[in-house]
Amino acid sequence: MLLSRSAVEELYTRRIDRYGSFIAAFQSPQGTQALLQRSHLLRAGLRVLDAGCGFGMVTFAFLAALRERNLHYETIDAFDLTAAMLARFHSELETRGVSRVQLQQADVLALDTLPPSWTNYDLIISASMLEYLPKRDLPRALAGLSARLTPDGHMVVIITRKTPETRVLIDWWWHANGIPRTNCCALSPKQGSETRYSSAFPDVTSG
């Protein structure tokens, strides 16, 4: 059963430390970094939006992927529904000395609350956030994000693959919805109707 937006915020405020342990156990940061490093999406001077950023897992994975290629970004904007997550993210940015990252509390279904300058992104990345939306709201959320891309921008959506194991962990513990397919990541160009699905995260347990 999907939670209300306020209930999602309350859940992640209460379980913020458990969520950190959860994604660490599943090597989500390493998987996200490997996915980005093996993609064609990284280049110098990117404007990036981290949609549903939590406490910054995707942003820090993106930064690590850039470092591996000796690339630099122009700016990163990030929003999340949960204030506690954003506070944790802000603290980690300061600890790591990371600059040019702007944070904002916002709902993906109310993107008009974001600053007017938050547009024209080369890359939008969203990990797990869309799993908390009713199916009827997914087109509106995706359209709202896509509208903030440059004409040749790309959007990467990471969604939990639904298996018997994740059904227990994601559906019951985190009250989210996975997808019943073998793929977990969608790379969508702004132009055209094709959505290309990749397989699960690259193997990060060896090498």
Contact 148, 115 (CB under 8 A): no
What mean pLDDT, rounded, does the chain reach? 80
Mapped onto helix, strand or coil, the DSSP state of residue 87 is: helix
Token pair of 186, please?
Answer: 């969608």
Query: Quick one: pLDDT at residue 90?
Result: 97
161/132: higher pLDDT = 132
User: pLDDT confidence of 181, banded at 50, 70, 90?
Assistant: very low
Predicted TM-score (pTM) of the model is 0.81
- pLDDT tens digits for range 46-65: 999 999 999 899 999 999 99
CA distance 101 to 84: 17
Bridge-partner residues for 79, per DSSP? Answer: 51, 104
Q: Which of 59, 55, 44, 132 is nearest to 89 (CA)?
A: 55
Bridge-partner residues for 158, per DSSP? Answer: 127, 185
For the cut 80, the answer to whether the pLDDT of residue 105 exceeds it is yes
Query: Quick one: pLDDT at residue 63?
Result: 98
Q: Which of 6, 19, 28 is nearest to 159 (CA)?
A: 28
State what percent of residues in the chain have pLDDT above 90: 51
- pLDDT tens digits for range 54-94: 989 999 999 999 999 999 999 999 999 999 999 999 999 99
Query: Quick one: pLDDT at residue 159?
Result: 78
- pLDDT tens digits for range 109-140: 999 999 999 999 999 999 878 887 888 888 89
Contact 134, 2 (CB under 8 A): yes
